[in-house]
Structure 1
Amino acid sequence: MNKKYPDEFKQEAVRQVVEKGYSVPDVYKRIGISDKSIYYWVNKA
């Protein structure tokens, strides 16, 4: 099942990886979504 996340939520997740230097596993564990989603959002950004 695909969940829809608000753009702001996605942007903040990407910001944590790209700007703040957190690893993807750190971010997905903290916000509770799949690592695949975050990798996709980061690559898309």
Structure 2
Amino acid sequence: MINPLCPKEFKIEAVKQITGSGYPVSGVAGHLGVSAYSVYQWLKL
């Protein structure tokens, strides 16, 4: 599992996979080993 304090670049790439490529949040979160809640929070930034 990834450290809860993920680097900014990691978060940016996760958001790009959702906004740019159209992958679902749950799929990206599962692939990266983080919670969907975390990814939703990153989308708000």
Q: TM-score range by the shorter chain?
A: 0.7 to 0.9
Residue 26 of structure 2 aligns with which residue?
Answer: 25
Relative to the length of structure 1, the TM-score reads 0.87
User: What is the aligned-residue identity percentage?
Assistant: 42
- 1:9 maps to 2:10: yes
Unaligned runs of 5+ in 2: none
Q: What is the TM-score with the length of structure 2 in the denominator? A: 0.87
Q: Provide the C-alpha distance between the structure 2 equivalents of 1:36 and 1:20, rounded to a whole number of angstroms.
A: 19
Calculate the aligned-residue CA RMSD, in Å.
Answer: 1.3
Q: Where does the alignment leave 5 or more consecutive residues of structure 1 unmatched?
A: none
